[in-house]
Structure 1
Amino acid sequence: MTKCDKSTYPPFCVLMSVYRNDKPEELRLAVESVTVRQTLPPDEVVLVVDGPIAEPLKAEIDALQREIGTIRPVWLAENGGLGRALRIGMEQVAYELVARMDSDDISEPTRFEKQVRYLEQHPDIAVVGGQMTEFIGDPANVVAMRPVPLEAPAVRRYFRDRDPLNHVTVMLRRSAVLAAGNYQPWHLDEDTYLWGRLLERGYELANLPDVLVSARVGAEMYARRGGWRYFRSDVGILRWKYRHGLTGPGRFMYNYLVRFVVQVLMPNKMRGWLFRTFLRTK
């Protein structure tokens, strides 16, 4: 792997959140994938520890901090959810460019090199994401890919119906995120709410055609995407889009009905089949 000359690139940060259910071995793989295994490693990794964690996970964080000098844990006394953790983390970072990463996923080695170069060449873009594969168990066991649109106009149109960015793949301009009100809590839709506020303020979002991250998935992912609580959260986002002119009445009603069927009426097994068959590609 050929390392980039960091002097020719602007500095940037990786923002991650960890909580009590995360596994030490998966965290290590995730952290190594965004640091020592990158052709363009970050200047800082802000690791927000969202509330109390077990000793093995804490020991792994301490070990990673010793081994990789750019890791900076931010310890929160109580678990407040991903939106709050990312909000605090975004306030803590030292650089304008901030990449998101989850604690159990794996970034491709050239991810940051591609994203930093893209944002340098496209100063009008506030957030750039990319394509994402999904795996179960072994990272080599890729089961699907979640494709997203590339150019800013297509991303804006796509937002009427679904998330136009894979959250764990994005690199953001911190100034734009803070101008839009930063991350804010919204059950499983923290990212959607942020994209909407950025688009409402006229910021442009885009995606690279490359796969940037492999995301760890399982049956529990589809369970989290169903039930009354998630339906109410999603409908709240739909109402917010409609009130702020980001979707029309027809799209609102269509998406409301689809979400009611998928998230409330459909059992997890069928929901998983639907996601894999129609909302993902092989």
Structure 2
Amino acid sequence: MRFSVLISIYCEENPEFLSQALLSIWDNQNIKPNQIVLVKDGPLTPDLNAEIGQWQNKLGDTLVSIQLAENVGLGAALNAGLEACEHELVARMDTDDVSMPERFEKQVRFMQAYPDVTASSAGLEEWSEDLNSRIGKRTLPVDPELLKIFAKKRSPLSHPLAMYRKSAVLAVGGYPPLRKSQDYALWSLLLVKGYKLANLPDVLLKMRTGDDFFVRRGAGFLKHELALLRFQKEIGFLNMREFLINCLLKSVLRLSPSFFKKFAYRNLR
């Protein structure tokens, strides 16, 4: 089954990390994608453009670059890239993560075996930025029914290694217009519309999680989470009780000291 990989990049990202990410989804994969769509979300640095240029020379027409005039945010950038994806099956990838060699082989096989599943992901490992220290492991419910319950509190799929069917995502309007957590909003919308989501039990990605991860998810991040919760309530994914409980829990977590956030993230999930 043919598939596209969808990536977005903006000016603050690391050229070396980008190279490692592309190596992991091309050179080191058991099966290679038929197309890689790379959205440049606004003007990039010379170093990033040079790295992309090297990969363009290497991959030729397999790599499709889309230049956006200004930074529009991840969701809008991915919507632009999704239109350019030639294949029904689309795999997501972030520019600072590393996919395991068997990732696409297992995900494509899974989506072929379960045509009623619209979107899926898998387990991932969290690593330090230099990829020398393994910090933790993130697993998600595998069963679609358990996943729907889990989704009321946390994102049911890991976006950096999600794979979904393009037609279904376009049918619900693509990624919703939120600045953050667009993926969780999309999964919520798909569930409300009756689509089935699932996860593989395998660990298929290494995600960089530096110390500043917890700083970024502090009080400033709370406003984006509250916007997501309002969206989930508006589409009928959360009832009033669920909405209020989630608002309270998110507020307590985001306004707490960094040491508590680290503890909660690694032990209470």
TM category, shorter: over 0.9
Q: Deviations over 1:182-229 (max 9, x none)?
A: 11331221101111111111000000000111101112221222214x
Look up the match of 1:26. Answer: 17
Residue pairs, 1:67-82, within 5 angstroms = 67-69=58-60, 70-82=62-74
- CA shift for structure 1 position 73: 1.1
Look up the match of 2:102. Answer: 110
Matched-pair contact (CA < 8 Å) for 1:18–1:49: yes
- CA shift for structure 1 position 140: 4.0
Give the partner amino acid of 1:84: A
- CA shift for structure 1 position 246: 2.4
Distance (Å, rounded) in 1 between the aligned partners of 2:230 and 2:126:
30
Consecutive unaligned residues of structure 1, counting only runs of 5 or more, are: 1-9
CA 1:243 to 1:185, structure 2 compared with 1: closer, same or farther past 3 Å? closer
Residue pairs, 1:23-172, within 5 angstroms = 23-69=14-60, 70-172=62-164
- CA shift for structure 1 position 53: 1.0
Instruction: Classify the secondary structure of the residue corresponding to 1:68.
Output: helix
Which residue, 255, 278, 281 being the options, matches 2:268?
Answer: 278
Instruction: Classify the secondary structure of the residue corresponding to 2:32.
Output: coil
Instruction: Classify the secondary structure of the residue corresponding to 1:196.
Output: helix
Q: Which moved more, 1:234-243 or 1:80-89?
A: 234-243
Which residue, 186, 194, 208 being the options, matches 2:200?
Answer: 208
Matched-pair contact (CA < 8 Å) for 2:125–2:136: yes
RMSD: 1.4
Q: Deviations over 1:41-81 (max 9, x none)?
A: 00010010111111111000000111223211111111111
Look up the match of 2:224. Answer: 233
Distance (Å, rounded) in 1 between the aligned partners of 2:222 and 2:45:
32
- CA shift for structure 1 position 256: 1.4
Distance (Å, rounded) in 2 between the aligned partners of 1:185 and 1:38:
33
Tell me the TM-score normalized by structure 1.
Answer: 0.91
Q: Which moved more, 1:187-196 or 1:236-245?
A: 236-245
Matched-pair contact (CA < 8 Å) for 2:121–2:199: yes
Instruction: Classify the secondary structure of the residue corresponding to 1:186.
Output: coil
Matched-pair contact (CA < 8 Å) for 1:132–1:215: yes
Matched-pair contact (CA < 8 Å) for 2:189–2:237: no
Distance (Å, rounded) in 2 between the aligned partners of 1:236 and 1:137:
29
Instruction: Classify the secondary structure of the residue corresponding to 1:126.
Output: strand
Consecutive unaligned residues of structure 2, counting only runs of 5 or more, are: none
Q: Deviations over 1:76-135 (max 9, x none)?
A: 111111111101000111110000000000001011111111111101000010011110
Give the partner amino acid of 1:231: L
Look up the match of 1:7. Answer: none
Give the partner amino acid of 1:151: D
Matched-pair contact (CA < 8 Å) for 2:42–2:72: yes
Matched-pair contact (CA < 8 Å) for 1:131–1:145: yes
Look up the match of 1:246. Answer: 237
Distance (Å, rounded) in 2 between the aligned partners of 1:139 and 1:204:
34
Aligned residues: 268
- CA shift for structure 1 position 175: 0.3
